[in-house]
A and B are shown apart, each in its own frame.
Chain A
Amino acid sequence: MSPLHDLTACEAATQVRRRGISATELVRAVLARAEATEPAVGAYITLAAESALAEAAEIDRRIAAGDDPGPLAGVPIGLKDIICTRGLRTTAGSRILERFVPAYDATVTERLRRAGAVVVGKLNCDEFAMGSSTENSALGVTRNPWDGTRVPGGSSGGSAAAVAARSCLASLGTDTGGSIRLPASFCGVTGLKPTYGRVSRYGVVAYASSLDQVGPLARDVADTALVFGAIAGHDPRDSTSSPRPVPPIALDGDVRGLRLGLPKEYFVEGMQPDVDRAVRTAIASLARQGAVIEPVSLPHTEYAVGTYYLVATAEASSNLARYDGVRYGLRVEAPGAAVQEMYAQTREAGFGTEVKRRIMLGTYALSAGYYDAYYLKALQVRALIARDFARVFERCDAIVAPVAPTTAFGIGELIDDPLTMYLSDILTISVNLAGLPGMSVPCGFDQTGLPIGLQVIGKPFDEPTLFRIAAAYERTADWHRKAPPA
């Protein structure tokens, strides 16, 4: 039998429910795996060995008593460290929240626990989810398990790296401009950014509230569907969550007759040839299975990066106003200083450079005299971008494209060039601006052995079609079974 940390989440939950293995054995194996991989990968900010073993013991007690703990029984899961966990510190990768211990669980945390999952730890990310490489974390470096000199992508870099390294069986990330799909692609795992409103954000540290969405990262499509099923659905505590029922996800459908749009703007100049080749090969495989590939156009794509960075930073500058050193988080104050001084000193010491850059940009975009020219203009272009997608979906069932123009870049390579770093999200951010679901599925490797992701983009609330396409592709490929060098 393969080591327990190599089991998929589906296999592990089945075994635990059938009493083939205990939740405690499983969690021990994954914690041991994390101990072995963490020095090289650095996916976790906090490993919660003690509470994880206690939760596993409770699952085992329930199973012994004849209870069914749920579809994720005993499955060790890691959470991006912007998702609140009661009694377990939640830092957002920031000095300002380095010692923050939430008084409650996020809804997604609560739902995972209710489905039987065990939280093994909190995963590294760019500070307040602002970044594409996880290098903006104030609390450590995460390395790509496929090549330790490369970034894992971001902002949910720890969530992708841990799944790839098998130091958890599945994880949650958040995606505001590509922060689940990009790291999933860079680390060779599957990741889903659900439709805006499909998953509750209650208890998730806010970055840009009209764009943020929580979603799963996992080793294959079935595991991704399993975790998605556990977290999706309306939450009265998040007024932006949708009351629509969550349809069941079937993974055995075929793609015959499905119309897949191929946007010409997503095969950009300067794209790495290996990425172009792998994505086109994957799309050809879907065509061989009966999908109809149709060239389409999303003409406002070139405006998406500018639109995103105006909308997202405007929202961030408001959302991050709450970090003022009063109710929680870091406080820095010179003796006798006035309250305004305390705010400024706290925020100077507590926020990293990228966070300050985005707060400044957002403050500028919202300031009198510039509001119309920047913020309102960006809102209108956002409507045009959403309209581009709506037009394509009048005749297509989904869109297929690369996740990113390149494979994982080197650690330190883009950190001093924020604009180029922003461009790594060029193929993912439009999906957030339009509120659509998007998925990254492994579809090959470049010449140096770095993973490549296929992106599937769907209509609002049509996650079932995304899963159907992803599962059909996965049945003809074995990229998702490849593991990085131990």
Chain B
Amino acid sequence: MASLARLRLEPAEEERLTADLDHILEAFAKLQTLDTTGVPFGMPSLDQAATPLRDDVVTNPDAGEELLANAPAPQGRYFRVPKILE
């Protein structure tokens, strides 16, 4: 599960989280006792009949430099990443 979530856990942390999750899921098992046959999925929309769409025009300002200033490893105008393919 941790690798699916792209998390690495210390052995002690892994042990603790596993115990916590077992305990929490046990408490959530209560939901299984409810008969939900025919019940719709999720909250009914409060407001909108359909997903609103906007015109396909660029409205964001060009903040390239400010955005790159937050990058942990920029290279010129690019984000550098470790090797992806061997």
**A contacts, CB < 8 Å to B:** 99-101, 103-104, 195-197, 210, 236-237, 239, 242-244, 300, 302-303, 305-307, 309-310, 317, 321, 324-331, 333, 337-345, 347-348, 351, 353, 356-357, 359-361, 363-364, 367, 373-374, 376-384, 386, 418-419, 422, 433-435, 460-461
Cβ of B58 within 8 Å of any chain A Cβ, yes or no, is no
Known: A196-B43, A243-B47, A383-B40. 5 other contacts (CB 8 A): A303-B31, A348-B10, A378-B31, A381-B34, A418-B20
Identity of the chain A residue whose Cβ is nearest the Cβ of B63 in the assembled complex: A103
20 contacts between A and B (CB under 8 A): A99-B70, A103-B66, A104-B63, A210-B42, A243-B52, A324-B6, A326-B79, A327-B67, A331-B72, A338-B82, A338-B83, A342-B82, A348-B9, A360-B1, A360-B7, A361-B21, A377-B34, A377-B36, A380-B41, A419-B20
Q: Which residues of B contact A353 (CB under 8 A)?
A: 13, 16-17
Residues 33-86 of B at the A interface (beta carbon under 8 Å): 34, 36, 39-44, 46-48, 51-52, 54, 59, 61, 63, 66-67, 69-73, 79, 81-84
Please tell me if the beta carbons of B7 and A306 are within 8 angstroms of each other in the complex.
no
Q: Return the contact of A374 from the options B23, B28, B61 (Cβ within 8 A).
A: B28
| CA A434 to CA B45, docked complex, whole Å | 10
Q: Which residues of B contact A378 (CB under 8 A)?
A: 31
Identity of the chain B residue whose Cβ is nearest the Cβ of A86 in the assembled complex: B66
Interface SS, B side? loop
What's the nearest-Cβ distance from chain A to residue B28, in Å? 4
Q: Which residues of B contact A364 (CB under 8 A)?
A: 1, 21, 25
Q: Which residues of B contact A434 (CB under 8 A)?
A: 43
**B contacts, CB < 8 Å to A:** 1-10, 13, 16-17, 20-21, 23-25, 27-28, 30-32, 34, 36, 39-44, 46-48, 51-52, 54, 59, 61, 63, 66-67, 69-73, 79, 81-84
Please tell me if the beta carbons of A356 and B28 are within 8 angstroms of each other in the complex.
no
Please tell me if the beta carbons of A360 and B21 are within 8 angstroms of each other in the complex.
yes
Please tell me if the beta carbons of B31 and A328 are within 8 angstroms of each other in the complex.
no
Please tell me if the beta carbons of A345 and B5 are within 8 angstroms of each other in the complex.
no
What's the nearest-Cβ distance from chain B to residue A116, in Å? 23
Identity of the chain B residue whose Cβ is nearest the Cβ of A343 in the assembled complex: B6
Q: Which residues of B contact A384 (CB under 8 A)?
A: 34, 36, 39
| CA A344 to CA B61, docked complex, whole Å | 32
With A103-B63, A310-B28, A343-B6 as known contacts, state yes or no: A357 contacts B17, CB within 8 Å. Answer: yes
